[in-house]
Amino acid sequence: MRVHLGSDHAGFELKSHLSDRLRELGYEVVDHGPVEYDPVDDYPPYVMRAAVAVVNDAGSLGVVIGGSGNGEQIAANKVRGVRAALAWNDDTAKLSREHNDANVVSIGARMHTVDEATGLVERFLTTPFSGDPRHARRIAMMSHYEESAELPELPAPPPLQ
């Protein structure tokens, strides 16, 4: 599986570590930058390139990294077709794939040790989407909105008693 990486200065060191670790595990890693540490760089150019690559590369997943991961998640989610999730523990990494079929995970490098962050990424990459119809239905609603700007229909109110 191909994994697209993008970060900013705060995530640069973790991105470098993950690039090596994921290659060791047999993943094909594509690093969208930055290629060197710059303490004043901006994350959108790197993160959004990684996100676009995931959308254009069927079957791939993405990992975006910053200080908290919040801005990187927001930037990735601006790309049509991306479902980026901020993972802060094992359950959020796992459920983002199982329930939401997230294709990008965002990690806060300043929020975790290297080992913790690596574990979150590995959990994300190894967890499949459950395929549960209720989750697929919800994802379809969001995808439809993304394409059409039409809000999902509200459920019928319960009958009065």
Among the listed residues 4, 9, 32, 72, the single catalytic one is: 72
Cα–Cα distance between 119 and 99 in angstroms, integer?
19
Q: Assess whether 72 carries a catalytic annotation.
A: yes
Cα–Cα distance between 67 and 1 in angstroms, integer?
26
Residue 22's identity, in one-letter code, is L
Triad 29, 43, 124: Cα angle to 5°: 45
Contact 32, 63 (CB under 8 A): no
Residue 148's identity, in one-letter code, is S
Find residue 63's DSSP bridge partners: 5, 105
Q: Assess whether 98 carries a catalytic annotation.
A: no
Among the listed residues 99, 116, 122, 135, the single catalytic one is: 99
Residues labelled catalytic = 72, 99
